[in-house]
């Protein structure tokens, strides 16, 4: 091993992460309402091989087993999300007490085995009944989300200190409301702009609500990031436009900087959806920013992609090392993004809230020798040590993910977990990468 746990600092946070829809299953159990992902994945043609998350990894019934596996790998922190529709089956109003109790049991089990819980309030699975009313394209989402956040922060705040408001708003707005490849499957730039603005408002308002209800809380929100480069020097401006879309459109409003209109001119039309005072309402003083990095994106200018006028040149097209989802393995980009995000005035702390990769894991005599994933972790953790030598503090690292799970529109094919799940019987097997972390964190 090229480094050890102590190299990262005595108080460095080591954890693993997962999300409600990707793992819980029990989609209509104990009073849970339908979420947009229930609806989307149950609609034929939306998911590879027509799979769905109805059962997922059955974390709803196997949470004790999974938390003990996490404990056995010597992790001290667990990031998970709440299912809005499990708590508010109708989106607002009536509370489902059995859903509320489920998360109490998860939190209590964490505390019992000395694992610190980190709660993500929203990880893409809002109630379908709210989507019928427009979902994130409806400004009422701010009120709906506020009611939900107010309840869960009061309910769990005396047990949970660490809170994340939104998970990767870029992903659910671009893929869910512009491209239509994820739930709820809407398309169009108008839907996208509305969803982006309302997500920015909720991101900040959620922070204010948690701060009011849990004064001692450590509050953050998470951002999908990718290191963007042009394929040639002629593609520099295309890369700048793509960078504004991917890396700037949510963090800069939260810092009071507004939208990155300097590079993405179409964002000037956001004013049509804004009310007086919205710039200030999108601002919140987060205790930390969650940075989520998986791969580099190389682009070239394109007249066929409206608004951004840039197109990705995939890892496969470039013939470079990539994972099962064609994401380039590029640790240097991780370093560049940590450096960049830390340079923003107003960013007090950075925690890596997701990092990991999917490879073609094959079980062999109850063992999964996932050496490629181990090399991925080694190379990316080395970049954290590199940035720390420059006195840029990265306070923690969450592996994505604890177990293999339902990878959204890709179904169960991509495996990100430290723990292999046999989807025929839901048996769990710690992979070699999980054992590698166990040794690192002992």
pLDDT score recorded for residue 60: 99
Q: Mean pLDDT over residues 66-87, rounded? A: 98
> Mean of the per-residue pLDDT values for the chain?
97
* Predicted confidence (pLDDT) at residue 129 exceeds the cutoff of 90: yes
Confidence of residue 328 (pLDDT cuts 50, 70, 90): very high
Pairing of strands 162-166, 116-122: parallel
The stretch 430-438 carries a mean pLDDT of 97
Per the structure, the count of domains in the chain is: 1
> Residue 62's pLDDT band (boundaries 50, 70, 90)?
very high
Token match 């947009």: residue? 36
Q: Which residue has the tokens 């094959």?
A: 362
- Selecting among 205, 240, 328, 354, the annotated active-site residue is 354
Q: What angle do CA 380, 383, 384 make, to 5 degrees?
A: 100
Are the beta carbons of 311 and 304 closer than 8 angstroms? yes
pLDDT of residue 288 exceeding 70: yes
Distance between CA atoms of 203 and 278, rounded to whole angstroms? 12
DSSP summary character for residue 4:
-
Closest CA to 368 of 437, 417, 425, 439: 417
Q: Which helix (H) or strand (E) holds 395?
A: strand 394-400
Across the range 37-47, mean pLDDT stands at 98
Q: Which of 24, 51, 131, 168 is catalytic?
A: 168
Q: Please give the C-alpha separations between residue 382 and each of 107, 334, 350, 432, in angstroms, as whole numbers.
A: 32, 10, 16, 19
CA dihedral (34, 36, 40, 43) in degrees, to 10, reads: 30
Mean pLDDT of 87-104: 98
Q: Strands 419-422, 427-430: parallel, antiparallel or unpaired by DSSP?
A: antiparallel
Q: Is the pLDDT of residue 128 over 80?
A: yes
pLDDT at 148: 99
The DSSP symbol for 355 reads E
Residue 28 pLDDT grade (very low, low, confident, very high; cuts 50, 70, 90): very high
Q: What percent of the chain has pLDDT over 70?
A: 100
pLDDT in tens, 175-198: 999 999 999 999 999 999 999 999
Domain that holds residue 243: 5-440
Rounded Cα–Cα distance for residues 370 and 433 (Å)? 6
Asked whether residue 1 carries a pLDDT value surpassing 70, the answer given is: no
> Do the beta carbons of residue 20 and residue 35 sit within 8 Å?
no
Predicted TM-score (pTM) of this structure: 0.98
Q: What share of the chain is helix, strand, coil (3-state, %, to 5)?
A: 40, 20, 40
The CATH number of the domain where 294 resides is what? 3.20.20.80
Mind giving me the DSSP string for 309-331? -EEE--HHHHT--B-TTS-B--H
Model pLDDT for residues 353-381, shown as the tens digit of each residue = 999 999 989 888 888 889 999 999 999 99
pLDDT digits (tens, 9 = 90+) for 339-356: 999 999 999 999 999 999
Query: What pLDDT sits at residue 318?
Result: 97
pLDDT attached to residue 366: 80
Asked about 48 being catalytic, the answer comes back as: no
What's the average model confidence in pLDDT over 278-307? 97
- Among this protein's residues, is 354 annotated catalytic? yes
């Amino acid at each position: 091993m090229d480094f050890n746990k102590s190299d990262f600092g005595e108080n460095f946070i080591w954890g693993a992460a997962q999300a409600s829809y990707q793992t819980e299953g029990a989609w209509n159990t104990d009073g849970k309402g339908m979420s947009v992902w229930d609806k989307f994945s149950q609609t034929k043609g939306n998911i590879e091989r027509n799979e769905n998350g109805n059962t997922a990894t059955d974390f709803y019934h196997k949470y004790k087993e999974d938390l003990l596996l996490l404990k056995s790998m010597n992790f001290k922190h667990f990031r998970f999300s709440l299912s809005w529709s499990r708590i508010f089956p109708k989106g607002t109003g009536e509370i489902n007490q059995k859903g509320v109790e489920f998360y109490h049991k998860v939190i209590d089990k964490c505390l019992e085995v000395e694992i610190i819980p980190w709660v993500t309030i929203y990880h893409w699975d809002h109630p379908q009944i709210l989507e019928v009313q427009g979902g994130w394209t409806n400004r009422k989402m701010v009120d709906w989300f506020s009611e939900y956040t107010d309840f869960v922060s009061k309910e769990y705040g005396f047990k949970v200190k660490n809170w994340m408001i939104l998970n990767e708003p870029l992903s659910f707005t671009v893929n869910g409301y512009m491209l239509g490849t994820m739930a709820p499957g809407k398309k169009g730039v108008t839907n996208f702009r509305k969803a982006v603005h309302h997500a920015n408002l909720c991101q900040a308002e959620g922070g204010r609500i948690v701060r009011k209800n849990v004064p001692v809380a450590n509050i953050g929100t998470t951002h999908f990031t990718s290191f963007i480069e042009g394929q040639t020097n002629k593609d520099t401006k295309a890369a700048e436009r793509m960078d504004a879309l991917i890396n700037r459109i949510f963090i800069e409003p939260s810092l009071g900087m507004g939208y990155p209109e300097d590079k993405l001119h179409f964002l000037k039309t956001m004013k049509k959806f804004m009310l007086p005072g919205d710039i200030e309402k999108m601002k919140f003083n987060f205790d930390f920013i969650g940075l989520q990095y998986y791969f580099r994106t190389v682009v070239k200018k394109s007249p066929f992609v409206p608004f951004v006028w840039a197109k990705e040149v995939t890892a496969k097209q470039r013939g470079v090392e990539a994972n099962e989802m064609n994401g380039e393995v590029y640790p240097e980009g991780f370093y560049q993004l940590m450096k960049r995000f830390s340079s923003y005035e107003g960013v007090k702390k950075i925690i890596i809230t997701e990092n990991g990769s999917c490879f073609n894991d094959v079980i062999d005599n109850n063992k999964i020798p996932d050496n490629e994933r181990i090399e991925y972790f080694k190379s990316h953790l080395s970049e954290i040590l590199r940035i720390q030598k420059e006195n840029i503090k990265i306070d923690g690292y969450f592996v994505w993910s604890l177990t293999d799970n339902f990878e959204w529109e890709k179904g169960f094919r991509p495996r990100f977990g430290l723990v292999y799940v046999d989807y025929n019987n839901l048996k769990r097997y710690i992979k070699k990468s999980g054992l590698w972390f166990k040794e690192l964190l002992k």
